[in-house]
Amino acid sequence: MNPDHMKTVKPGGTIGILGGGQLGRMLALAAARLGIDAHIYCPEQDCPASHVSAGFSCSAYDDERRLTAFASAVDVITTEFENIPANTARFLTNRKPVFPSVKALEIAQDRVDEKAFINGQGIATAPWRRVDTLDDLKEALADIGPDGVLKTRRLGYDGKGQTRVKSIETAAAAFAGLDNAPAVLEGFIDFEREISVIVARGQDGEIRCYDPGENRHAEGILRETTVPANISPATRDNALRIAGQLAKALDYVGVMGVEMFVMRDGSLKVNEIAPRVHNTGHWTIEGCAISQFEQHIRAVCGLPLGSPARHSDAVMTNLIGDDVDAWQTLLATPGTALHLYRKGEARPGRKMGHTTRLL
Amino acid sequence: MNPDHMKTVKPGGTIGILGGGQLGRMLALAAARLGIDAHIYCPEQDCPASHVSAGFSCSAYDDERRLTAFASAVDVITTEFENIPANTARFLTNRKPVFPSVKALEIAQDRVDEKAFINGQGIATAPWRRVDTLDDLKEALADIGPDGVLKTRRLGYDGKGQTRVKSIETAAAAFAGLDNAPAVLEGFIDFEREISVIVARGQDGEIRCYDPGENRHAEGILRETTVPANISPATRDNALRIAGQLAKALDYVGVMGVEMFVMRDGSLKVNEIAPRVHNTGHWTIEGCAISQFEQHIRAVCGLPLGSPARHSDAVMTNLIGDDVDAWQTLLATPGTALHLYRKGEARPGRKMGHTTRLL
């Protein structure tokens, strides 16, 4: 870390957050606990984070006038989502410290760069091939077998922009469905379970990891995370080591989520890295004295990281679409904490809230 | 509860909070978790709660125009401090449901009414006498001994407006020091420890109590609360029973704190009731899945109360005045959660934040 880019935000200071969704909302609430104000920058009016934050700039991510004013109003800047335009982050970096760095964001925004970076660290992923053309696709299928997942290189999340393919015909159709946008083919792997590690790295390079959670997805969207994951101590140690190594290699500052597949022999393959607080870390609000949200605030504000110790086992369950209609029943369920994100309409696939049940 | 006064606030609704201090701030943060907006009414600009709330009305408590607008903007109204003028609460009650009720607030605002109410429930307090005149004072001292505490009937908190007296001379001087304002003399009692019960009562009359905490004061200000209190199961049960009985007798809705003295024989005397979330319940943020703040929001919003089960033992320590200067050390202390209230100046005696250490 270049010392020029170190910055301590003290209580009474202000953290700028790019994005106003539920992650920004929970970050703002965590900052509040430390006496730090949040200022949200988000193109959408009435976004979840705006209602709990001291400041709110509502404009497009390329509005340089508003971005300049935003940078002036805050002490340090972070982001709640990985698809923030790199140009926006770069523009702001010239005005105030931005954590995580533009470089870390750029790597995580591009599946090809991300996988190349991970493999470059000697860390396994599923086999993959870059797919820019139909010829690339054919070659990739020949190399890593017909069974795989075709994903856009950029802007995918929650299963969007990805299709399971099983033959050259389904693959070609999927590629056409992406309007031939740059893509990546990932070989299908027969993993035993999926886990994720929430890792934090401070401005001073200190690293802290929460215990891995075990994740269950449906239709490409996370449904449930359980801690601890049902893995051996050796696999756990390896998972934490991998997450720490990736954070260090990215010169990362803040919290990031590292999703991994656990193979039947206990070995690990990294699925993806998310350069932000992560849905699979929501259980830390109830399960730990210091949540992933506060940990992220501490890291980007140059404050000491907190202990990631878990005092209780937990199951976090997402409330997706009309799952949220059960809110009154959930409120009355003993040992269950309910979080609602204050989104208006419960559209299918939309994350409306979550519960954490302490075990 | 008159059914006319029942009211359910749903996620997306707004709770109005009278007062903008740290209790209002923590209430607003708890409401946010449930997707409920907070609107603060407070005469002071830049108050702690205003920075984390969707709405803020800054005006005097007798500004009927602003109070009317405030009532229109919210679904239900509560208070974060017991000394809200009863006329303000009464004015608002004609416009929106107010919890706790004016009656409960009035009783808690007046030490004579409060003690008479408690004794009327067959519940012990320290011996006390009403003191309106110097003659009353002399008579009271003759009745309950020269050793006691003279307190103003109204508007006391954190040891303000109270003086230890040991003779007619010190008592007369203390009374003169209160400008002969209506007062109460409490006989000094030789208690073993002080505990408090945080009790919640829903609109439907349901009652839930957190485990009693044991409190240590210095110079009339709470320094530390430890849970569990070092008391027998019988004393614990009795403490919860007393708190529940008082809440029911007041037809109380919301959370209140009941401070009690534990005598050497294990019997209890109630010291005072605070009709609001309470400093001795701050440990519930880290110690329970549902904190006292969320419990209060649930109660006043007509939602099901949460379980008050404690998953961890805890010690809560107030940061008073320049205690807060140690914030960086406290951030780095494992197992300790730091809360800072975003107050400007660390004046002596001012509560600037607190820590909760999980045991």
Residue range A292-317, pLDDT digits in tens: 999 999 999 999 999 999 999 999 99
Tens digits of per-residue pLDDT, B31-49? 999 999 999 999 999 999 9
Please report, for residues B225, B266, B295, B317, the alpha-carbon distance to residue B29 in angstroms, rounded to integers and kept in the order given: 22, 37, 12, 20
Tens digits of per-residue pLDDT, B335-359? 999 999 999 889 999 999 999 999 9
Using a CB-CB cut-off of 8 Å, the residues of chain B touching A353 are 35
Cβ B289–A337 below 8 Å, yes or no?
yes
Number of other CB atoms surrounding residue A335 within 10 Å: 18
**B203 pLDDT higher than 80:** yes
Query: If we measure between CA atoms, which residue out of B146, B97, B135 comes closest to residue B302?
Result: B97
Interface of B with A (CB under 8 A): 11-12, 25, 28-29, 32-37, 51-54, 286, 289-290, 298, 303-304, 306-307, 309, 311-312, 327-328, 331-332, 334-342, 344, 353, 356, 358
User: Distance between CA B113 and CA B93 in Å, rounded?
Assistant: 21
Q: Where are the alpha helices (DSSP H) in A4-101?
A: 22-33, 64-73, 86-93
User: Beta strands A193-201 and A162-165: pairing type?
Assistant: unpaired
Please report, for residues A325, B16, B38, B245, B277, the alpha-carbon distance to residue B251 in angstroms, rounded to integers and kept in the order given: 31, 20, 24, 10, 17
Tens digits of per-residue pLDDT, B90-120? 999 999 999 999 999 999 999 999 999 999 9
Chain mean position to CA B253: 14
Using a CB-CB cut-off of 8 Å, the residues of chain A touching B306 are 331, 334, 337
Three-state secondary-structure class, residue A165 = strand
Model-level pTM? 0.95
Cβ B311–A307 below 8 Å, yes or no?
no
- The label of the residue with tokens 């809560």 reads B316
One-letter amino acid identity for B65?
R
Q: Nearest CA of chain B to the CA of A332: how many Å?
A: 6
Query: If we measure between CA atoms, which residue out of B248, B257, B275 comes closest to residue B86?
Result: B275
Q: What pLDDT score does B187 carry? A: 94
- What are residue B148's DSSP bridge partners? B165, B187
User: Distance between CA A244 and CA A249 in Å, rounded?
Assistant: 9
Tens digits of per-residue pLDDT, B214-253? 999 998 899 999 999 999 999 999 999 999 999 999 999 9
Domains of chain B: 3-109 (3.40.50.20), 127-187 (3.30.1490.20), 193-358 (3.30.470.20)
User: Beta strands A55-57 and A37-41: pairing type?
Assistant: parallel
Q: Nearest CA of chain A to the CA of B215: how many Å?
A: 22
Tens digits of per-residue pLDDT, B279-338? 999 999 999 999 999 999 999 999 999 999 999 999 999 999 999 999 999 999 999 999
Q: Nearest CA of chain B to the CA of A293: how many Å?
A: 13
Q: What pLDDT score does A5 carry? A: 59
The Cα angle at residue B344 between residues B341 and B346, in degrees rounded to 5: 85
Using a CB-CB cut-off of 8 Å, the residues of chain A touching B11 are 327, 340, 342
Find the CB nearest B341 among A35, A336, A342. Answer: A35
One-letter amino acid identity for B159?
G
Q: What pLDDT score does A338 carry? A: 98
Find the CB nearest A37 among B51, B304, B339. Answer: B51
* Maximum separation of any 2 CA atoms in chain A, in Å: 59
Find the CB nearest A304 among B53, B311, B332. Answer: B332
Find the CB nearest B51 among A54, A332, A334. Answer: A54
Q: What pLDDT score does A26 carry? A: 98
- Residue B63 DSSP class: -
Q: What pLDDT score does A155 carry? A: 74
Number of other CB atoms surrounding residue A219 within 10 Å: 10
Residue B155: pLDDT band with limits 50, 70, 90: confident
Residue B85: pLDDT band with limits 50, 70, 90: very high
Three-state secondary-structure class, residue B168 = helix
Cβ A32–B25 below 8 Å, yes or no?
yes
Residue B1: pLDDT band with limits 50, 70, 90: very low
Asked if B167 and B137 touch (Cβ cutoff 8 Å), the reply is: no
User: Distance between CA A80 and CA A255 in Å, rounded?
Assistant: 10
Contacts for B94 with CB less than 8 Å, ≥ 6 apart: none
Three-state secondary-structure class, residue B334 = coil
User: Distance between CA B215 and CA B279 in Å, rounded?
Assistant: 10
- Residue B138 DSSP class: H
Query: If we measure between CA atoms, which residue out of A172, A42, A161 comes closest to residue A109?
Result: A161
Three-state secondary-structure class, residue A3 = helix
Using a CB-CB cut-off of 8 Å, the residues of chain A touching B339 are 33-34
Chain A interface test: which of B52, B206, B295, B323 (most A C-beta within 10 Å): B52
Cis peptide before B308, with omega less than 30 degrees from 0? Answer: no
Cβ A289–B331 below 8 Å, yes or no?
no
Cβ A34–B340 below 8 Å, yes or no?
yes
Q: What pLDDT score does A159 carry? A: 59
Chain mean position to CA B115: 16
Query: If we measure between CA atoms, which residue out of A132, A219, A148, A257 comes closest to residue A183?
Result: A132
Residue B163: pLDDT band with limits 50, 70, 90: confident
Number of other CB atoms surrounding residue B349 within 10 Å: 12
Cβ B11–A342 below 8 Å, yes or no?
yes
- Residue B323 DSSP class: G
User: Beta strands A268-274 and B76-79: pairing type?
Assistant: unpaired
Mean pLDDT of B254-259: 98
Residue B157: pLDDT band with limits 50, 70, 90: low
Cβ A342–B25 below 8 Å, yes or no?
no
Residue B2: pLDDT band with limits 50, 70, 90: very low
Q: Nearest CA of chain A to the CA of B48: how many Å?
A: 9
Contacts for A94 with CB less than 8 Å, ≥ 6 apart: none
Give chain A's mean pLDDT: 94
Q: Nearest CA of chain B to the CA of A139: how many Å?
A: 50
pLDDT one digit per residue (tens) for chain A, 359 residues: 444 557 899 999 999 999 999 999 999 999 999 999 999 999 999 999 999 999 999 999 999 999 999 999 999 999 998 889 999 999 999 999 999 999 999 999 999 999 999 999 999 999 999 999 999 999 999 999 888 999 999 876 555 678 888 888 888 888 888 887 899 999 989 999 999 999 999 999 999 999 999 999 998 899 999 999 999 999 999 999 999 999 999 999 999 999 999 999 999 999 999 999 999 999 999 999 999 999 999 999 999 999 999 999 999 999 999 999 999 999 999 999 999 999 988 999 999 999 999 99
Q: Nearest CA of chain B to the CA of A327: how many Å?
A: 9
Number of other CB atoms surrounding residue B133 within 10 Å: 12
Q: Nearest CA of chain B to the CA of A288: how many Å?
A: 8
User: Distance between CA B127 and CA B269 in Å, rounded?
Assistant: 10
Contacts for B244 with CB less than 8 Å, ≥ 6 apart: B199, B201, B207, B209
Tens digits of per-residue pLDDT, B164-185? 888 888 888 888 888 878 999 9
